[in-house]
Chains A and B, each alone.
Chain A
């Protein structure tokens, strides 16, 4: 456990001393819960339509695939015309694009960011590295299967996939969301123990709460 996460007494600027327990004070202890569908199918369909038309991506590039995001968001490919845009914080985004190889060190940050995103949220694995390790198949420091650690809705194959492939991927993701099959966040809540066990198996210095909401 990191020193900054331990329970300690802090002296405020006014001289008053108070106790801080970061894990309890700064984080939510409760594990994620399954979010039920809306009360009627037609309402849920409306929600899903709205969700599919506003895919907001977290601006977090994990590997070399992040370089494909620049032409995608600038005028040449212009993903904004499909309602896709990039957001600077996990709180405002609902799609996490894992753009390429994922080292164990980055995986830790990815899990923290993913858990801070609000429901409903989707994960797209980009490139062969997220599917089976790709060219890093024998690396000591990159994970080989993303779906062991996060619920993946869609993979886009390639090394690296071109921006056109990503646009096609967004179109497919929209179809998945519209048909109500993109239930990654609920799957994560249901199989929370399994995902946590897998994550802790590779992240040896687990110095954060189990759930980082």
Chain B
């Protein structure tokens, strides 16, 4: 992985390298470097498979982290490209022309995190949710408990007990 990183570094400005395992590493990139690096990895380094595209919401830092996980099937190594984008009016370049499957991931991210991918096919269509009218539910500032209490009627009588206290009471009612 180090060899690949030094090789890549000759051509592109790269961020830090995090080696998770022998066959898995993550590289942090600038937003505008993503496309050339992906094309280089796909065409020159045989990373031909997009495993997944996902996002992490770093609410405190006001950024979204996008992770593009690419796989080299020949030597069974994975490389993750991390891109940090601003949380305000989050938008990212689409890569559906490199891997058509990316369009599905981008549709999901658009719905669940509210990250826009302009020109991605059907990106603004409903994906899993239908008629959603709140902030995107995977954003960390979305309060799922509050939303469910407001939206759905609850059956009364539901209570939560601390397991340790409850069993103590039940087994030793005298407090012994």
Contacts and interface: CB of A to CB of B under 8 A. Distances in A.
Interface in B128-155: 128-134, 137, 142, 144-145, 147-148, 151-155
Most buried by A among B133, B142, B154: B154
B158 interface: yes
A160 interface: no
A203 B130 CA distance: 8
A126 B128 CA distance: 24
A203 B148 contact: no
Contact of A202 (B145, B151, B158): B151
B152 A105 contact: no
Majority SS at the chain A contact face:
loop
A145 B154 contact: yes
Given A145-B152, A148-B153, A204-B130, A140 B158 contact: no
Interface residues on A, range: 20 to 34
Interface residues on B, range: 20 to 34
B153 A141 contact: no
A108 B130 contact: yes
A106 to B, nearest CB: 10
Contacts of B153: 144-145, 148, 198
Interface in A66-118: 104-105, 108
Interface string B98-142: 000000000000000000000000000010111111100100001
Interface string B153-174: 1110010000000000000000
Contacts, number: 56
A132 B154 contact: yes
Contact of B154 (A133, A139, A198, A201): A133
Contact of B152 (A131, A143, A204): A143
Contacts of A142: 152
Contacts of A143: 152
Contacts of A104: 130
B155 A131 contact: yes
B148 A204 contact: no
B154 A141 contact: no
A143 B154 CA distance: 9
A53 B7 CA distance: 74
Contacts of B126: 205
Given A140-B134, A142-B152, 6 more contacts: A105-B129, A133-B152, A137-B158, A139-B148, A145-B152, A203-B130
12 contacts: A105-B130, A133-B148, A133-B154, A133-B158, A137-B148, A138-B145, A140-B137, A144-B148, A145-B153, A198-B153, A204-B131, A205-B131
